Structure 1
Amino acid sequence: MNYTEHFEGIKLDVQAVDIEISDAIQQSVRDAITKIKRHAKKIDSVDVYFKEEASQSTNQKSVHMRVGIPGNDVFAQDSGDNWYELLKNVEEKLKRQLEKR
């Protein structure tokens, strides 16, 4: 599932490899962007990549997010088994990076 939308003036590109992203997760992505916006003067784009790898022991999920800002972009990722927790962790990592600028 891939989709692109414009959210609050930001180009949002979401890619999910062989999985469907629910409306609730899509809304969580938008909520995370709203919170990240408080820490950046200008955000041009956000790329979000969801991936799920089935292994013998667990289903390993990962979320990668790149925030396009003037200058160098910021990037964060996390892996685990809960999409919502992963999004929250990635959001926190990105906010910390933006606060350092």
Structure 2
Amino acid sequence: MQITIHKSGELLESTKQVIQEKVSKLETFYDRIERADVYIKEDDGNTANGHKVEVRLSIPGNDLFAEHTDASIKRGIAEVTEALRRQIKKHKEKTVDRDQAGISHADMAPSDDEEEIIVSEEQL
């Protein structure tokens, strides 16, 4: 997964490392993440020294997005990655449900390679 951090100013190296670690860990929950765009913005003044942290994950289908405002960028990224983890879990559950709903009894018929087991009434 490619991680791009967008910030108007400079970030401490330790902050960059935390962002990389937290966002990379999301791959353990879903291996089809193509790209992560992390945006760090100065907030509009609602929080003292507030930072708005936004992350957009590019995955097949619709992208996943979360944001959080906090005085600490590190706490903000922790909150955002936790929200994305929950979204990934929900996305995977929907995908599995959709896949299971597509299976019909006709699809479960034995193929030419498989033998159909026929039981006579005498064997019951």
Query: Is the pair's TM-score, using the shorter chain for normalization, greater than 0.5?
Result: yes
The residue identity in structure 2 corresponding to 1:12 is: I
Instruction: Kindly report the root-mean-square deviation, in angstroms, between the aligned alpha carbons of the 2 structures.
Output: 1.7
Larger strand percent: 1
Structure 1 SS opposite 2:11? coil
Runs of 4+ with >4 A deviation: none
Q: TM-score, normalised by structure 2?
A: 0.67
Q: Greater relative contact order: 1 or 2 (C-alpha under 8 angstroms, separation 6 or more)?
A: 1
Matched to 1:16, the amino acid is: K
Q: What secondary structure does 1:24 align onto? A: helix
Q: Return the structure number with greater helix share.
A: 2
Look up the match of 2:64: 74
The number of aligned residues is: 91
The SS at the match of 2:74 is: helix
- Percentage of pairs with the same residue: 27
What TM-score comes out, normalization by structure 1 length? 0.81
Residue-by-residue CA offset, 1:1-27 (whole Å, 9 max, x unaligned): xxxxxxxxx22211112x211111111
Larger Rg: 1 or 2?
Answer: 2
Q: What are structure 2's unaligned runs of at least 5 residues?
A: 92-124
Q: 1:95 and 2:85 equivalent? A: yes
Return 5+ residue gaps in structure 1 as ranges: 1-9
